[in-house]
Structure 1
């Protein structure tokens, strides 16, 4: 399975970072039906074709995901969009 592993540094405090991740997750849930749940400092997400997590680290956020066959063909586009959103939300 194709995988995504992106780490993005930021200057937000932990509460702001968690709020930013939750905002992104809520948008994904509304637009694409992504299921989500927090496990400690990680937001786990899942839907047909993708299974992953967003992990909050001190001064960074890390997105990892396994893509199914169909979404795997769009891996580059998906990674570009993740990087764009992270750069926008995590300065």
Structure 2
């Protein structure tokens, strides 16, 4: 079971969701030092991310954005703070892409 689970519904379609995912990955690599690998599929993309103490996936579809992360011992005590930051960043990216219409 992941320590962090964030799921958002959206109406961006797969192309819009991919744009958000790529932006989130770029930010996560810079801010958190994550190494990310993005695999594009027909109707579902998966990005995996890792660094010492954190591993996870981001699943992107035409209607959902799902992030699951497992934290190591040192990061687990900060899980709530990490989840809040990720949630704020992701929601802001989805919101700006939607043009201000919230569907989460």
Which runs of 5 or more residues in structure 1 are unaligned?
none
Q: Are residue 48 (structure 1) and residue 28 (structure 2) matched?
A: no
Count how many residue pairs are aligned between Structure 1 and Structure 2: 91
Q: 1:53 to 1:2 in 2, by over 3 A?
A: closer
Which runs of 5 or more residues in structure 2 are unaligned?
96-104
Q: 1:38 to 1:64 in 2, by over 3 A?
A: same
Q: CA deviation at 1:32?
A: 2.9
Q: Distance in 2 between matches of 1:37 and 1:3?
A: 20
Q: Is the 8 A contact 1:2 1:75 kept in 2?
A: no
Structure with more contact order per residue of length (Cα contacts < 8 Å, sep ≥ 6): 1
Give the TM-score, by structure 1 length.
0.88
State how 1:59-78 maps to structure 2 within 5 Å.
Answer: 59-78=63-82
State how 1:11-22 maps to structure 2 within 5 Å.
Answer: 11-22=11-22
Please name the residue that 2:8 is paired with.
8
Q: Is the 8 A contact 2:17 2:61 kept in 1?
A: no
RMSD: 1.6
